[in-house]
Amino acid sequence: MFGNLSDRLSQSFKQLRGRGVLTEADVDNTIGQIRRALLDADVALPVVRQFTTDVREKAYGAARSKALNPGQQVVRIVHDELVEILGGETRELHFASRGPTVFMLAGLQGAGKTTLAGKLGKWLREEGRSVLLVASDLQRPGAVHQLQVVGGRAGVGVWAPEPGDGVGDPVEVARSGLAHALESGIDVVVVDTAGRLGVDQEMMDQAIAIREAVHPHEILFVLDAMVGQDAVRTSTAFRDGVGFTGVVLSKLDGDARGGAALSVRGVTGAPVLFASTGEGLDDFERFHADRMAGRILDMGDVMTLIEQAEKRMDQAEAQKVAAKAMSGELTLDDFLSQLQQVRRLGSMKKVLGMIPGMGQMRDQLENFDEREVDRVEAIVRSMTPAERTDVSILNGSRRARIARGSGTTVTDVNGLVKRFEAAKAMMGQMGQMSGMPGMGSMPG
């Protein structure tokens, strides 16, 4: 997401680059472009006004001080302002000091609440807490079963009404779920609630009744980032109805223009606490305003990448491979193991998108074919252990055999071997120069 907004913002900075000093006319011109870019991204009007007013004031200041590098100055000002409207400092979650903590989920039908319950459950479990998901969405057919499925995948318990209990009372389910958690010493209860396709009073009343029954420590409002201008109406309705303490932005992986993400904090005053970026249970992260601003401005998000790498990759293996790479001894087996580790971080598109400067290659990134990675894996797997250790033994007939075995062509095999050898040589040289360990052991 943010692709178009990122492009438009970089475009507006471009003409400042190379200028010796910044004039007020430059500032006005740039602000006009930023304003249009934000409006086209569906950012709420009051937020756009606030944003452009603040940026203008600071940029005028920079112009008056005749600061050097006006382009960089303005990028910095826009960055800081983006961080501001995205919520500034990341707030910690509120947990109960004693007894179970209750998180209640609210939002429209299809916003991603049930999916989020599973993600949150897994995330909390990995943080060392015991979790119970409570199925208080008795409205949507299949919601209870869906929660049981995601709970199972997340490895956490699910509290649901017995089938055959008739329609059931969602408030009662929430209350009994909490009582059960208290009895069994469970740390966190996540209550999934019903949504409608649009806001209606009955749904809001039910959410309020559940809130009164379980006194949540956090009410998380789940907002589909794809909804554009509707985001303002929906989030104010929920703020004024059941109320909420934090926002979860879902579907940030889609091609949403970004308006909801940039508006929700300014419109409701509640911080965005999490971002949901896909249908899988791991497609979920804490929302950090500074990192998100970095992504919008194509500065990448290396911090999130490193955190995910720490969580999902085998550190000892990565270190071993890095050391071998630096001493110029990398083999295709090492490469294969690294490739598999990187794939645990998510799709290549997602991983590459977090690397600074990749925005300029957005088109290639959008068209990135994940099957290319499958092909590379298939080629390496079709090699014998001896070939993987020493690619120099790969003569014509071996290459033809590998191509056949992997369902690729000899040209594909040649390409991979060539890129691997080049990367290996480069990393060997880097190792000689600095002895610096690194992650990048991927040819191509």
Known binding-site positions for GTP: 107-114, 192-196, 250-253
11: Cβ contacts below 8 Å, ≥ 6 apart:
33
Q: Which is nearer to ligand GDP, 50 or 109 (CB)?
A: 109
Number of residues that bind ligand GDP (CB under 6 A): 19
Q: Quote the least distance from Cβ 308 to ligand GDP, whole Å.
A: 16
- CA 230, CA 224: separation in Å to the nearest integer? 10
Q: Which token pair is 293?
A: 């601003």
Here the contacts of 311-319 (C-beta below 8 Å, separation 24 or greater) are 311/126, 312/282, 312/341, 312/344, 312/345, 313/341, 313/342, 313/344, 313/345, 314/341, 317/341, 318/439, 319/437
Q: Quote the least distance from Cβ 119 to ligand GDP, whole Å.
A: 8
β-pairing, 272-276 vs 284-286, is: antiparallel
Q: Is 349 in the site for ligand GDP (CB under 6 A)?
A: no
Distance, C-alpha 204 to centroid of its chain: 29
Q: Which token pair is 90?
A: 């990341």
Q: Quote the least distance from Cβ 235 to ligand GDP, whole Å.
A: 15
Q: Quote the least distance from Cβ 355 to ligand GDP, whole Å.
A: 21
* Binding mask of the shown chain, residues 271 to 310, with x at each position contacting ligand GDP by CB under 6 A: -----xxxx---x---------------------------
Q: Is 195 in the site for ligand GDP (CB under 6 A)?
A: yes
Q: Which is nearer to ligand GDP, 13 or 221 (CB)?
A: 221
Neighbours of 405 (CB within 10 A): 14
Q: Which of 251, 291, 295, 399 binds ligand GDP (CB under 6 A)?
A: 251
Alpha-carbon torsion (171, 172, 176, 179), positive or negative: positive
Distance, C-alpha 425 to centroid of its chain: 34
DSSP H/E element including 226? none
Q: Which residue has the tokens 């890129």?
A: 419
Binding residues: 107-114, 192-196, 250-253
Q: Which is nearer to ligand GDP, 71 or 110 (CB)?
A: 110
Q: Quote the least distance from Cβ 133 to ligand GDP, whole Å.
A: 12
Torsion of Cα atoms, 301 then 302 then 303 then 304, to 10°: 60
Interface region with ligand GDP, contact rule CB under 6 A, candidates 174-182, 248-256, 357-365, 368-376: 248-256
Interface region with ligand GDP, contact rule CB under 6 A, candidates 251-259, 292-300, 316-324, 345-353: 251-259
- CA 444, CA 364: separation in Å to the nearest integer? 14
Q: Which is nearer to ligand GDP, 274 or 335 (CB)?
A: 274
DSSP H/E element including 273? strand 272-276
Q: Quote the least distance from Cβ 245 to ligand GDP, whole Å.
A: 18
Q: Which is nearer to ligand GDP, 119 or 324 (CB)?
A: 119
Residue burial 291-313, b: 16+ Cβ < 10 Å; e: rest: bbbbbbbbbbbeebbeebbeeeb
Q: Which token pair is 111?
A: 């916003």
Q: Quote the least distance from Cβ 312 to ligand GDP, whole Å.
A: 18
- CA 158, CA 19: separation in Å to the nearest integer? 60
Q: Quote the least distance from Cβ 117 to ligand GDP, whole Å.
A: 8
- CA 319, CA 437: separation in Å to the nearest integer? 8
Q: Which is nearer to ligand GDP, 107 or 294 (CB)?
A: 107
* Binding mask of the shown chain, residues 10 to 49, with x at each position contacting ligand GDP by CB under 6 A: ----------------------------------------
Q: Which is nearer to ligand GDP, 308 or 341 (CB)?
A: 308
Q: Name which of residues 78 to 137 contact ligand GDP (CB under 6 A).
A: 107, 109-115
Task: Please report, as a single letter, which amino acid is at residue 426.
Answer: M
Q: Quote the least distance from Cβ 116 to ligand GDP, whole Å.
A: 6
Q: Which token pair is 223?
A: 């907002």
Q: Which is nearer to ligand GDP, 283 or 387 (CB)?
A: 283
Q: Name which of residues 404 to 433 contact ligand GDP (CB under 6 A).
A: none
Q: Is 254 in the site for ligand GDP (CB under 6 A)?
A: yes
Give contact residues for ligand GDP (rule: CB under 6 A).
Answer: 107, 109-115, 140, 195, 250-251, 253-254, 276-279, 283
